[in-house]
Structure 1
Amino acid sequence: MPTTAELGSHGEDLAVTYLTDEGLTVLDRNWRCREGELDVVARDRTTLVFCEVKTRRGTGYGDPVEAVTYAKQRRLRVLAQRWLAAHDEHAPEVRFDVIGIVLRADGLAKVTHLPGAFS
């Protein structure tokens, strides 16, 4: 049974594979600053995408995407500002995506991607 950290890391690996398969370019992973951590920062053509990844073993506590509360959204907006201030990346648009991953008992993963989940 993987630890919570291992589960999260595996989910982020799956999310990065999913995003790159969809044509996005991953710029950063697990970027940290004093206020917290951004799971994935990517570019979708001319749009910078800040992506929160939530991974669960099941849906007993709800779908993983539901774990991105209003408070978490506020924190992600602050983290995005910090990331932009620390990097020389510019884009006319910024988007916040959420990826929920449920690791099923059969070993397969169900990936739910919500592009532009909040603004």
Structure 2
Amino acid sequence: MTYARNKALGAYGERLAYDFLREAGMVVLDRNWTSRFGEIDIVARDGDTLVICEVKTRSGDAFGTPLEAVGPRKAATLRRLAAHWLEVSGLHPPAVRIDVVAVVVPARGAPRVERVAGVA
């Protein structure tokens, strides 16, 4: 898969994740927020909880599932990004959670979107 195709697939997955989270009743506060520590795909509010969402999109499971792509190193990065986002935003929510939104876009059939809460 080419770089341009990977970028397009990732952007499509993020749009699907955005719609999925909004349909689940979450309020999206920020998208593609970047700092010196990296990027947060989606920052949302789920009731009183601030949710940092990592979106992983794949065209299949040949190289592992999207959820398998978030290991201990990525989880640590997401925690650092969450702390930095809170510092910059000045918000002080009662709870912060890190979720992964896994998107699989098969060659045939409808995309599948799944959210796993509290992965890090």
**Range class of TM-score, shorter chain:** over 0.9
Distance 1:16 1:108 in 2: 17
Supply the distance in 1 between the matched residues of 2:59 and 2:12 (Cα, whole angstroms): 11
Correspondence 1:39 to 2:38? no
Whichever structure has more strand as a proportion of its residues is 1
Match of 2:87 in 1: 85
Moved over 3 A (4+): none
Measure the CA separation in 2 of the matches of 1:25 and 1:74.
24
What root-mean-square deviation, in Å, do the aligned CA atoms of Structure 1 and Structure 2 show?
A: 1.3
**Offset of 1:83 from its aligned partner?**
0.5
* Number of corresponding residues: 118
State yes or no: 1:108 paired with 2:110: yes
Deviations 1:54-101 (A, max 9, x none): 000100011111100100000011111110111032210000000111
The percent of aligned pairs where both chains have the same amino acid is 47
1:21: which partner in 2?
Answer: 23
Alignment equivalent of 1:117, drawn from 109, 116, 119? 119
- Measured after TM superposition, the shift of residue 107 of structure 1 is 4.7
| TM-score, normalising length: structure 1 | 0.94
Q: CA deviation at 1:19?
A: 0.3
Choose the corresponding residue for 1:64, options 63, 66, 71. Answer: 66
